[in-house]
Structure 1
Amino acid sequence: MKTLNYTLVDVFTTKPFGGNQLAVFEETNLSPDLMQRIARELNLSETVFIRKPTDPKKEKSLRIFTPQVELPMAGHPTIGAAYVMAEKDIIDTKTGANEWIFEEGVGDVPVTVEMVDNGISKVEMEQPLPSFGDYYSERELAAELLSLSLEELDPSLPLQTVSSGVPFLYIPIQSLSAMKKINFRTDVWEKYFSGSPNTKHIFTFTTETQEPQSTVHSRMFAPAMGISEDPATGAASGPLGAYLVKHGVVPSVDSGISTIRSEQGMEMGRPSFIDITIIKEGNEITKVKIGGKSVIIGSGSLYL
């Protein structure tokens, strides 16, 4: 019998039972099929497996799975895995900024672990530069997907697909009250949205927020990943920040560095806070980072 040990961590939160749940498996060499079956067994939004890097100059390689599919990159598994490795001394850390490189499906992913005297203050990852896809013109259909009226979509902003490895269709909403009313229609999704990689993952947001320190209030729906709703979506948050800067929702600043906080998971009872940094040189976005805090909440073993 083989024993596989894992750590359970809540990501993008400072409190247990907040943020997004993640199982982090210690370094092992499993087949993709077995990793997928384990992720389906645990049935968390994502499960991450630490592996030896192919390049010895890199710290680790990560394989990331939802209950349905493997992902080329994801935010909360990257942040959570780095937090666990620092907390459990799997990778040596020092006070200050620890710069690591993880191998993921999209390539090398830079990660920074900030250490202070009393522990980890923040973990931040750099994401691939976002690519902006087509605008989505069927606004009535998008409203129907969310069980909202057309007037509850924000008319001043476009519906657009943006990707840093995983494409999401961004749908701007007028108000916080409309966000809380959303009832995702899987029948509409299956008929009109599921067939295209550019529309099958849905991200909604509004600039009205529950917490004063937040910039946007967000919700994400991804039935194609086996996720009915996600409490914190790192892979979508970098492109969200790029969307907000590109379309002037977050004003440009002289320094070229825009800071954004997305609150997510409130409707699920798992409040999450994702810090987003967008760096521009002239009119070009040159760097996208997301970060936040995590809490280890438990551990376990699987017997195979």
Structure 2
Amino acid sequence: MRKFDYELIDVFTDEPFGGNQLAVFKDAAKLTDEEMQRITSELNLSEATFITSAAQDKATVRIFTPNREVPIAGHPTIGTGYVLARDGLIQTVEGENSYLFKELVGEIPIKLYKKHGEIETVEMIQPLPDFKAVIADKESVSALLSIDAIDISDRSPMQIVSAGVPFLFVPIKDSAAMKQIKFRQDVWEKEFLAKGWEVDIFAFSLETLDKKATVHSRMFGPTMGISEDPATGAASGPLGAYLVHYGLVSEESEGNYLIISEQGIEIERPSQIRITVESKEGKINHVSIAGSSVDIGYGTIVLKE
């Protein structure tokens, strides 16, 4: 029998049983692609990561959802960095530390912040987002989300934005409408796929529940096999860029934006994602996300030879 240990953590939270769950396999070099996929489907978490090699300055990370491998993802990157640093596989000192993850999309820089001997926060520098098609069909989108078309805001467009994984960003007028959203898989399969819109859906509102938050978010991932995600890092960087691009948020200082996204509240896994965006002369030149992680447990997957 072959045994593979994993760590179970909650990411983008400082409280157990909040945030987004993640399984991290630190010694996965002997697993095949098919085995990684089947293990992730068996665990039935939104994502699992598999470390296939690790060196002093860089690690190779594979990221799987229950349905497919993804080229980049936020909470798996943040959580994996936390686990490797916590266990000493990434050497850290007090304060800021730098490291690289090699993911399918390419090299992803991360920063690990250590305070009083503990990994307090991990930051992920994301690829600059690509603004793609604008979707004008409010009727189809409102049907998909089980809300009225008038609940979709006119302040900014419904638009596909990607920093490695495409999401359709849908601006919603208020938190009451956000709470009413019920994702309809049948509409997505019959209408969205027929129109070539094979993307996951990110709905947001500038009306928040926490006064410290900037934006209230929900993500539905039909392409990934995720009914609703508690915290979506791969979408949060593009969300921040979208909010800056359309002038929906204010600067912290000249050209610098700090955005806090609250997510997962409707499914009782509250999360907070810290998004940093830098923009000069109307052009976004830096996007990063950051958050903390909490230890939950560990386990072993047993496979036949």
Distance 1:225 1:293 in 2: 24
Q: CA RMSD in A?
A: 1.3
Report the secondary structure of 1:170's partner residue.
strand
Measure how far apart 1:254 and its partner are.
4.7
How many residue pairs are counted as aligned between the two chains? 302
Against the structure 1 CA distance between its residues 294 and 243, is the aligned structure 2 distance closer, same or farther, given a 3 Å change threshold? same
Superposition map of 1:246-285 within 5 A: 246-252=245-251, 254-285=253-284
Distance 2:186 2:253 in 1: 46
Distance 1:252 1:207 in 2: 15
> What is aligned with 1:178?
177
Measure how far apart 1:184 and its partner are.
0.8
> What is aligned with 2:34?
33
- Could you list the per-position Cα deviations for residues 53-86 of structure 1 after superposition, in whole angstroms to 9, with x for gaps in the alignment? 5xx6742010000010000000000000000111
Distance 1:146 1:81 in 2: 32
Report the secondary structure of 1:245's partner residue.
helix
Q: Percent identity?
A: 50
Which 5+ residue runs of structure 2 have no aligned equivalent? none
Distance 1:194 1:293 in 2: 36
Superposition map of 1:38-187 within 5 A: 38-52=39-53, 58-187=57-186
Deviates more, 1:123-132 or 1:151-160: 151-160
Q: Which amino acid aligns with 2:112?
A: V
Measure how far apart 1:90 and its partner are.
1.6
Report the secondary structure of 1:17's partner residue.
coil
Against the structure 1 CA distance between its residues 199 and 156, is the aligned structure 2 distance closer, same or farther, given a 3 Å change threshold? farther
Distance 1:5 1:129 in 2: 34
> What is aligned with 1:3?
3
> What is aligned with 2:21?
21
Distance 2:194 2:46 in 1: 21
Q: What is the TM-score normalised by the length of structure 1?
A: 0.96
The question of whether the paired residues in 2 share the 8 Å contact of 1:217 and 1:263 is answered with yes
Which 5+ residue runs of structure 1 have no aligned equivalent? none
> What is aligned with 1:232?
231
- Could you list the per-position Cα deviations for residues 151-183 of structure 1 after superposition, in whole angstroms to 9, with x for gaps in the alignment? 111122100000000000000000100000001
The question of whether the paired residues in 1 share the 8 Å contact of 2:18 and 2:270 is answered with yes
Distance 1:12 1:115 in 2: 16
The question of whether the paired residues in 1 share the 8 Å contact of 2:198 and 2:223 is answered with no
Against the structure 1 CA distance between its residues 197 and 42, is the aligned structure 2 distance closer, same or farther, given a 3 Å change threshold? farther
The question of whether the paired residues in 1 share the 8 Å contact of 2:4 and 2:27 is answered with no
Deviates more, 1:193-202 or 1:79-88: 193-202
Q: Which amino acid aligns with 1:43?
A: N
Measure how far apart 1:198 and its partner are.
4.9
- Could you list the per-position Cα deviations for residues 257-294 of structure 1 after superposition, in whole angstroms to 9, with x for gaps in the alignment? 10000000000100000000001121111110000010
- Could you list the per-position Cα deviations for residues 127-163 of structure 1 after superposition, in whole angstroms to 9, with x for gaps in the alignment? 0000000110101111111111111111221000000
Q: What is the TM-score normalised by the length of structure 2?
A: 0.96
Report the secondary structure of 1:92's partner residue.
coil
Distance 1:158 1:148 in 2: 17
Distance 1:196 1:75 in 2: 28
Against the structure 1 CA distance between its residues 213 and 199, is the aligned structure 2 distance closer, same or farther, given a 3 Å change threshold? farther
2:265 equivalent to 1:293: no
The question of whether the paired residues in 2 share the 8 Å contact of 1:96 and 1:116 is answered with yes
